[in-house]
Structure 1
Amino acid sequence: MLLAFSIAPAGPGEDGSYAPAVAAALQVVRDSGLPHDLGSMFTTIEGEWDEVMAVIKRCVDAMEPYGDRVSLVMKADIRSGRIGQLTAKVDRVQGLLDDPGTP
C-alpha cells in the first residue's frame, strides 16, 4: 500500500513553527526503513498494511509532546501484491509526458 499522511500538533510551537514536531514524526518514518517520500504537504510511505499503520501510530506518539492534540490526515492506495509503486506511479505519468504520442 501507499499511504500519504499529514500530521501536526494542535498548535504551532512557541516560535510559530510546526517544523520540530514534524521532524520528530519524520524521524520515526526514516527509522522504520520503509520506502518513503517527503513532500511539502504530505509524507508518503510504502509497505504492508500492518507495518505502515504501526509507523503511523509511532508518528502520533512522537507528536504528542508538542501539543495536547494531534491532527492526522491520511489517504491510501491499497493494491495487493504491488511493490515499488512509490516511484513506479510517477514514472508512468512522466513517461506519458515525455512521449505524448503514446496512448
Structure 2
Amino acid sequence: MSSTNTSPEELYAVADFCLIPMGLETPSVGPQIAECQRVLKKSGLEYHLHGYGTNLEGPWSKVMDAIKACHEAVHAMGTPRIATDIRIGTRVDKEISQGGNAGKVSRVEDILAKDSK
C-alpha cells in the first residue's frame, strides 16, 4: 500500500472539495477560487476544477496541506470566512499512486460504452 512520495503507511487520498468563501461584498467568488487553483498548481498534486468544486488526489497529508494552503491564501485576500465541504476516498485493497479520479471516470465510461453496442 505505498504511494508516490509517501511513507508505506500513508494513505493515498482521492478527494473532492468545495471551498466556499463567505462574507464578501459581492456574490462572485471567482477570484478566490482562482487563487485556490494557483495554490493547487504549486502543490504538485493532481487536481481538476469542476463546476462545484475540485477533485484533488495524492498522499493524505499533502492533500490536507493543500486544502489548508487554499484557506490561508483565500483569507489573505481579505475573505473573512470560509466553509469547505470535503469528501475523501481511500482504499487499501489495491495500490493507487496516481490517477485515482481518472480511473474512476474511465471505469464508468467503459461501462456506458457497452450500452451503445
TM range (shorter): 0.7 to 0.9
After TM superposition, list the pairs within 5 Å mapping 1:74-93 onto structure 2: 74-80=86-92, 81-83=95-97, 84-93=99-108
Identity across aligned pairs (percent)? 29
Equivalent residue, structure 2, for 1:73: 85
1:32-77 Cα offsets, whole Å, 9 max, x none, are: 1111111000101110101110101100101113321111110011
- SS of corresponding position for 1:66: coil
Give the direction of change, closer, same or farther, for the CA distance of 1:2–1:85 in structure 2 (3 Å limit).
same
Equivalent residue, structure 1, for 2:15: 3
Structure with the higher strand share, 1 or 2: 2
Given the alignment of the two structures, is residue 100 of structure 1 paired with residue 111 of structure 2, yes or no? no
Q: Does the 8 A contact of 2:18 with 2:52 survive in 1?
A: yes
Q: Does the 8 A contact of 1:24 with 1:63 survive in 2?
A: yes
In the alignment of these two chains, the number of paired residues is: 101
Structure with the higher helix share, 1 or 2: 1
* Runs of 4+ with deviation above 4 angstroms: none
CA-based RMSD: 1.8
TM-score computed with the length of structure 1 as normaliser? 0.88
Gaps of at least 5 residues in structure 2 are: 1-12
